[in-house]
Amino acid sequence: MTNQTLVEIFLNHCAVERGLSKNTVAAYRRDLDKFVIFLSEAKLAIAEATSANIIDFAGFLRNSGLSESSIARHVVAIRSLYAFLSKDQGIDNVAIEVNPPKIPKRLPKALTISDIESMIASNGEDIAGVRNKALIETLYATGARVSEIVQLNVGDISRSEGNTVTVKVRGKGGKERLVPMGKFAQHALDQYLTRSRPTMLKNAREEALFLNEKRGTRLTRQSAWQIVMKAAERAGIERDISPHALRHSFATHLLDGGADIRVVQELLGHSSVTTTQIYTLVTIDKLRESYASAHPRSR
């Protein structure tokens, strides 16, 4: 089999059997295509490559100016490829001893509550503005990834007898989790569902929660990203803001408010609590700052 055929078999396995998202599979494809080109220039087949070739590829990426995190992502993709091929095709797993470079932990940058309020308020009362308010409120209220939010259907929003609203979020690997929604987000979503969505809707069978105002189809991840970025600009936030900043803020604000880390882990959809623990570093830094400024013998 050709190198490209082996990669396609692996990608199909990731999409069908492992249920990885389209974005994850696409990222694997981009990274592995570079590896295949690198091997082709060396006239090597995937089955013939050695761990030294993979290390050389990492060096090639580094010399090309890629960051350590990008190099690590490429190495992880290659390790996943060989782990699969060793079981499926009997190819030696030469990547098992090649470790991705260690990435220093970077603390998430959380927005302030006033920043978020300003972003929401920066939207108008027209059809798109009402939708944009609901989108930002939902991102912050649930802590969901933007890819998870744009995949929501109207049927994923449910109300209990006490009028508590919960959102069924589909995370990585198709795992589902239920996330409660606060009053502000509930109100913004109700406004959108009664005032904006019916006007945007072109096909009565469209199930998507958030719609494109012109086509009436599901809002794309890229469009949601632009909505958040433009709201941040209008709010006068000078640093680059992405939808993920709202997820960071959701986790940080919950922990600042005394939420249990296991609860935050569940709400974020993290498979391991160690992933969630990076947010505790943010709150510890705030404690240090408060201590340094308030304690008479801290200096």
Phi, psi of 149 (to 5 degrees): -70, -45
Q: Would residue 239 show up in a list of annotated catalytic residues for this protein?
A: no
Q: Would residue 288 show up in a list of annotated catalytic residues for this protein?
A: no
Instruction: With H, G, I as helix, E, B as strand and everything else as coil, classify residue 115.
Output: helix
Catalytic annotation, pick one of 34, 221, 247, 248: 247
The helix-helix angle for 113-121 and 127-142 (nearest 10°) equals 160
Q: Which residue in this structure is represented by tokens 């296991």?
A: 262
Among candidates 54, 43, 47, which has minimal Cα distance to 91? 47
Q: Would residue 247 show up in a list of annotated catalytic residues for this protein?
A: yes
Catalytic annotation, pick one of 172, 195, 230, 234: 172
Give me 51's structure tokens.
Answer: 């761990």
- In what helix (H) or strand (E) does residue 169 lie, and over which residues does it extend? strand 165-170
Q: Would residue 102 show up in a list of annotated catalytic residues for this protein?
A: no
Catalytic annotation, pick one of 133, 145, 170, 253: 145
Catalytic annotation, pick one of 18, 109, 230, 244: 244
Q: Give the integer Cα–Cα distance in Å for 26 and 47.
A: 23
Catalytic annotation, pick one of 195, 230, 234, 270: 270
Q: Would residue 145 show up in a list of annotated catalytic residues for this protein?
A: yes
Strands 157-159 vs 165-170: parallel, antiparallel or unpaired: antiparallel
Q: Would residue 270 show up in a list of annotated catalytic residues for this protein?
A: yes
Catalytic site positions? 145, 172, 244, 247, 270, 279
